[in-house]
Amino acid sequence: MSPQAFRQLMRMHPAAANIVATGKAPNRTGMTVSAFMSLGVEPPTVVCAINRSALSYAHMSDNQVFSVNTLATHHVQLALLFAGQGALFGDERFDRELWDEFDSGSPCLRDAVMSLECRLIRQVEESSHSLMIGEVISGRCNERAAPLLYRDGQWVTTCEDLSPASAARSTAQNGAAVQA
């Protein structure tokens, strides 16, 4: 398959937007990453695919710790900033108001949907990217925040519950609303 055809197919794949970050001020680096997933639970591990040309790549390797911060719908500008679109680099991308830090020193986005503190346990190189495998040391979450997703070049979200129980609840609520 041609790279163009592959890219076109992958545009249809919805993915949550995250900021993967590492380092302590004034040496923090971070980047927007959609290639992230959980790997296993015993021990808790995650993996993200990082382009080796990204500034954060060498810093993650050197620091041996990193964080993953899953973005919420109000973080579109932050996602663009950490994708290099604000012409700010390294520590300049971190606004003091928005960022806290984990015990290991890795940056933690205060109002992220979810943040994980990870210890790098393995790196696997494949073509332009490296799979960075991390053991999760700790985490935080904001259960009410709606996740920011990227699909077909658009920022979207999903928080609609399609399970049968929820559908029944919403039908009942709609019915009540009609009767009222």
Residues that bind ligand FMN (CB under 6 A): 17, 29, 31-35, 49-51, 54-56, 83-84, 150
Between 51 and 142, CB nearer to ligand FMN: 51
Q: Which two tokens stand for residue 72?
A: 């919420």
Q: Which two tokens stand for residue 170?
A: 């919403």
Q: Which two tokens stand for residue 93?
A: 């991308």
**Residue nearest ligand FMN by beta-carbon distance:** 84
Between 91 and 135, CB nearer to ligand FMN: 91
Closest separation between CB of residue 105 and ligand FMN, Å?
18
Contact 153, 170 (CB under 8 A): no
Between 35 and 120, CB nearer to ligand FMN: 35
Closest separation between CB of residue 57 and ligand FMN, Å?
8
Beta bridge partners of 150: 15, 155
Between 38 and 171, CB nearer to ligand FMN: 38
For 17-29, give the DSSP string: -EEEEE--TTS-E
Between 55 and 141, CB nearer to ligand FMN: 55
For residue 138, the SS3 value is: strand
Round to whole Å and give the CA distance between 59 and 105.
13
Closest separation between CB of residue 121 and ligand FMN, Å?
19
Closest separation between CB of residue 103 and ligand FMN, Å?
24
Closest separation between CB of residue 66 and ligand FMN, Å?
13
Find the helix or strand (DSSP H, E) in which 11 lies: helix 3-11
> What beta strand segments (E) does the chain contain?
15-16, 18-22, 29-33, 36-41, 44-51, 65-70, 99-101, 107-109, 114-126, 129-141, 148-151, 154-157
Q: Which two tokens stand for residue 97?
A: 């108001």
